[in-house]
Amino acid sequence: MPGRCRMKPSVTAALAAVLACAAPLLFAQTPPLPRDAAGHPDLNGTWDNGSGIDFVKPQHLAGGSVCVSGCDSPPPAARPPRNFPHYRPEYLAKVADLDKNQLKFDPVLHCRSPGLPRIGPPDKIVQQPGQIVFLYDDVSGDFFRIIPVDGRPHRKDVDPSTLGDSIGHWEGDTLVVEANQFNDDSWLTDNGAFHSVELTVTERLWRVGDTLRYEAVATDPKVLTEPWKVNRTAKLTDVDLVEATPCIDKDLNHVVDGTHHDNPR
């Protein structure tokens, strides 16, 4: 039949037929990346990173306690290990105390910035000559970062903040962003993962089709025994950002005893 691959009796002919059938799949090229005027990958657009913090809607449990997150999780013994920063022994008690009292101390639950790298990949990227702007639509508010990519060094006169001072450069098709000048008012992730003012974060973003790959490495030699790495992905979407609903510090106003649900590590 025309258009169909037929197998021949000989082994050689059969192999040739198989290769002929598979050739379009083996050698098919992925669509080229869109690029800006300088030849760098075009990261412009709105990126759905699946972010969201489900524990801002606590569930009330029998006995008056409150489940903050992971309410439908399996028992601890059945849960897979969680990617969590490795702390120096002298800080483990502090992490445990913050974890136990997350409702009281978690900055995000009190309408403060998640900080880096907890905030994850940007929800929108505006790429311009000499600079790239990251926009975030987070549960605790709207945030932005203006990242120079023109070779300038870090500023020395900037006040420390939760998102730090960022500069960027390109390594091939990967955007590398280095951030320093942090305060200690944010967490690296949930469960009491605090950091010190010595924190530095290096982020790498690269585009694969309509997917944005995001890798962040947090280094804090004062409290961590080793750098901590996180990986996320985001999908290009045509749904643009809208102004976020103002965060009001009363999401957890019905908490009874502040009990922290046992999250996986």
The CATH number assigned to the domain holding 175 equals: 2.40.128
pLDDT one-digit tens code per residue, 98-143: 999 999 999 999 999 999 999 999 999 999 999 999 999 987 888 9
pLDDT value, residue 159: 96
72, part of any domain: no
Could you tell me which of 264, 265, 262 has the C-alpha nearest to residue 61?
262
Give the tokens for residue 47. Answer: 């990126």
pLDDT value, residue 140: 80
122, part of any domain: yes
- SS3 state of residue 47: strand
If phi > 0 it is left, if psi is from -120 to 50 it is alpha, else beta; for residue 63 that is left
Q: How far apart are CA 150 and CA 131, in angstroms?
A: 7
Which runs of consecutive H residues, i.e. helices, occur in the chain?
11-26, 92-100, 102-105
- SS3 state of residue 125: strand
Number of domains within the chain: 1
Q: How far apart are CA 129 and CA 36, in angstroms?
A: 9
The long-range contacts involving 145-153, CB below 8 angstroms and separated by at least 24 positions, are 147/177, 149/175
Give the tokens for residue 110. Answer: 């009190």
154, part of any domain: yes
2, part of any domain: no
Q: How far apart are CA 124 and CA 236, in angstroms?
A: 9
pLDDT value, residue 217: 98
Q: How far apart are CA 108 and CA 238, in angstroms?
A: 28
Q: How far apart are CA 103 and CA 92, in angstroms?
A: 19
pLDDT value, residue 225: 98
171, part of any domain: yes
Question: Which residues, given as ranges, of the chain have pLDDT below 50?
Answer: 1-2, 4-8, 26-27, 53-56, 65, 261-265
Q: How far apart are CA 164 and CA 147, in angstroms?
A: 11
Q: How far apart are CA 37 and CA 46, in angstroms?
A: 20
132, part of any domain: yes
pLDDT value, residue 31: 81
Structural domain span for residue 200 = 45-50+82-237
253, part of any domain: no
Q: How far apart are CA 47 and CA 124, in angstroms?
A: 6
254, part of any domain: no
